């Protein structure tokens, strides 16, 4: 059932500053926020979307385009903990930080180290796996709903081993333990699955046959935005800066906007921490700065998504182009991009595909990152009128539709299909 209207009048236009009212305000218009807004509107709720005008440059557009059913392991593991000093202080590391941010990052890094201990890492992997289990079906349903099924490519995904040492060091049993289908394949089998790979690169791979990729994240997001608009969701093109409980409602204010809602879904990604604190929850959210390069090709340069395991980035075949995406740089929301990260990725990409030309485009965007790699999904400590839905890290695209289903259940007062205790903001 569709909601008949998104709000009780048109979005505010300065300088009027009239107060608008709405049943549910969703803060954030990335893939998670849009998915939540659509699911809530389809359930019959009156929904307003609060976010600046979409310029199609955010993480929901610049990601690797993977519905990553296999990504059960948290960023922090005992192996990463052992290597953490060398990783953080190596400019070419797939996990690095801006030195100017070290003081601000210190509390987060201490939490991250604790979450990388064996027992904590195991619990975090279990929590991530529980969210990932229904994801493939949830994405098929969402893509069918918005007319995007043709953009889903069920070709699987490859972890490329460049050396025998990398092959020996990768234990696939950790994936099997969480129900992930994966198999070790030989160099000959790798050549059949990825014929564009030079014959002298790699000694084999791990193949995840059930992984689905998105051929064009921008087009999928455009379809999702169109579906949200068709569901009569109002859009307030402003940044929500203040969240206050007042008289049984939530009052949101920002430049040129005042909106009063009965409930608020906080899905603002890397920008969620201040609003979460205003809602009553101190969440240790930090910002990962992700990078990508794009190379235009009239014919596909590679067929399947492929990750060189030691390099921290992905080769992502997409419509008309090859995207090289990934790495983690902890550095906040305000600093400019690091040209060194692009240069490092370009060198690494040419180590695998020596004939790559100069990249046609470069991008940098912001991911919300938690020390335990779990998203924050659940009711705020201050009351059930604020629902958290952010912090998905590298899995925002992957987990968007299942997050929307969980949020919709919480709004309806139903027991969600997944136990939410591991993701509640109160866990911190």
Q: Is residue 144 part of a domain?
A: no
Instruction: Examine the domain organization and report whether 33 and 179 are in the same domain.
Output: no
Instruction: Examine the domain organization and report whether 97 and 166 are in the same domain.
Output: yes
Q: Is residue 4 part of a domain?
A: no
Count of structural domains, the chain = 2
Instruction: Examine the domain organization and report whether 196 and 260 are in the same domain.
Output: no
pLDDT of residue 332: 87
Q: What is the pLDDT along the chain (428 residues), one digit of tens a residue?
A: 444 445 654 443 433 444 589 999 999 999 999 999 999 999 999 999 999 999 999 999 999 999 999 999 999 999 999 988 888 778 788 888 887 778 888 999 999 999 999 999 999 999 999 999 999 999 999 999 999 999 999 999 999 999 999 999 999 999 999 999 999 999 999 999 999 999 999 999 999 999 999 999 999 999 999 999 999 999 999 999 999 999 889 999 999 899 999 999 999 999 999 999 999 999 999 999 999 999 999 999 999 999 999 898 999 999 999 999 988 888 889 889 999 999 999 999 999 999 999 999 999 999 999 999 999 999 999 999 999 999 999 999 999 999 999 999 999 999 999 999 999 999 99
pLDDT of residue 6: 55
Q: Is residue 128 part of a domain?
A: no
Instruction: Examine the domain organization and report whether 92 and 183 are in the same domain.
Output: yes
Instruction: Examine the domain organization and report whether 160 and 269 are in the same domain.
Output: no
pLDDT of residue 101: 79
369, 394, 411 — which closes off a domain? Answer: 369
Q: Is residue 137 part of a domain?
A: no
Q: Is residue 138 part of a domain?
A: no
Instruction: Examine the domain organization and report whether 225 and 280 are in the same domain.
Output: yes
Instruction: Examine the domain organization and report whether 266 and 358 are in the same domain.
Output: no
344, 369, 394 — which closes off a domain? Answer: 369
Instruction: Examine the domain organization and report whether 319 and 200 are in the same domain.
Output: yes
C-alpha distances out from residue 50 to 16, 25, 268, 297, Å = 18, 7, 9, 37
Q: Is residue 28 part of a domain?
A: yes
Q: Is residue 121 part of a domain?
A: no
pLDDT of residue 88: 77
338, 353, 369 — which closes off a domain? Answer: 369
Q: Which two tokens stand for residue 223?
A: 């379809």
Instruction: Examine the domain organization and report whether 328 and 379 are in the same domain.
Output: no
Q: Sort residue 366 into left (φ over 0), alpha (ψ -120 to 50) or beta.
A: beta
Instruction: Examine the domain organization and report whether 361 and 313 are in the same domain.
Output: yes
Helix axis angle, 135-146 to 31-42, nearest 10°: 70
Measured CA to CA, the distance from residue 218 to residue 408 in angstroms comes to 25
pLDDT of residue 342: 95
Q: Is residue 147 part of a domain?
A: no
Instruction: Examine the domain organization and report whether 388 and 419 are in the same domain.
Output: yes
Whether pTM > 0.85 for this model: the answer is yes
CATH number of the domain that residue 254 is part of: 3.50.50.60
Instruction: Examine the domain organization and report whether 384 and 354 are in the same domain.
Output: no
Which range of residues forms the domain containing residue 345?
67-116+153-214+286-369
How do strand 212-214 and strand 66-67 relate by DSSP bridges? antiparallel
pLDDT of residue 271: 97
CATH number of the domain that residue 110 is part of: 3.30.9.10
């Amino acid at each position: 059932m569709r909601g008949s209207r998104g709000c009780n009048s048109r979005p505010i236009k300065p300088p009027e500053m009239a107060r608008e009212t709405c049943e549910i305000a969703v803060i954030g218009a990335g893939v998670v926020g849009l998915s939540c807004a659509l699911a809530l509107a389809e359930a019959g709720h009156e929904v307003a979307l609060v976010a600046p005008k979409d310029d199609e440059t955010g993480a929901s557009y610049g990601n690797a385009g993977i519905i990553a059913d296999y990504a059960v392991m948290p960023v922090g593991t005992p192996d990463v903990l052992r290597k953490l000093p060398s990783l953080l202080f190596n400019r070419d590391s797939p996990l690095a930080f801006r030195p100017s941010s070290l003081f601000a990052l210190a509390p987060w890094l201490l939490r991250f180290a604790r979450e990388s201990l064996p027992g904590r890492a195991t619990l975090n992997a279990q929590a991530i796996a529980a969210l990932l289990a229904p994801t493939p079906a949830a994405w098929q349903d969402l893509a069918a709903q918005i007319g995007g099924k043709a953009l889903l490519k069920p070709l699987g995904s490859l972890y490329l081993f460049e050396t025998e040492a990398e092959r020996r060091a990768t234990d696939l049993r950790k994936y099997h333990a969480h129900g992930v289908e994966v198999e070790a394949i030989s160099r000959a089998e790798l050549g059949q699955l990825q014929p564009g790979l030079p014959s002298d690169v790699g000694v084999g791979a791990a193949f995840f046959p059930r992984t689905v990729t998105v051929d064009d994240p921008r087009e999928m997001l455009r379809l999702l935005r169109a579906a949200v608009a068709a569901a009569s969701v109002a859009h307030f093109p402003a940044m929500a800066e203040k969240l206050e409980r007042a008289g049984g409602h939530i009052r949101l204010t920002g430049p040129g906007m005042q909106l009063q809602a009965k409930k608020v879904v906080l899905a603002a990604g890397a920008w969620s921490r201040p609003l979460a604190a205003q809602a009553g929850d101190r969440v240790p959210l930090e910002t990962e700065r992700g990078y990508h390069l794009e190379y235009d090709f009239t014919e596909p340069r590679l067929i399947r998504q492929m990750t060189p395991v030691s390099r921290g980035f992905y080769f992502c075949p997409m419509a008309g182009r090859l995207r090289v995406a990934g790495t983690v740089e902890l550095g906040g929301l305000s600093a400019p991009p690091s040209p060194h990260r692009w240069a490092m990725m370009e060198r690494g990409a040419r180590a695998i595909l020596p004939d790559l030309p100069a990249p046609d485009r470069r991008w940098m965007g912001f991911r919300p990152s938690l020390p335990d790699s779990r998203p924050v999904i659940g009711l705020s400590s201050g009351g059930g009128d604020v629902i958290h839905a952010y912090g998905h890290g590298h899995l925002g695209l992957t987990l968007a539709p299942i997050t929307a289903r969980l949020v919709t259940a919480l709004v309806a007062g139903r027991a969600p299909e997944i136990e939410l205790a591991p993701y509640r903001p109160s866990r911190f």
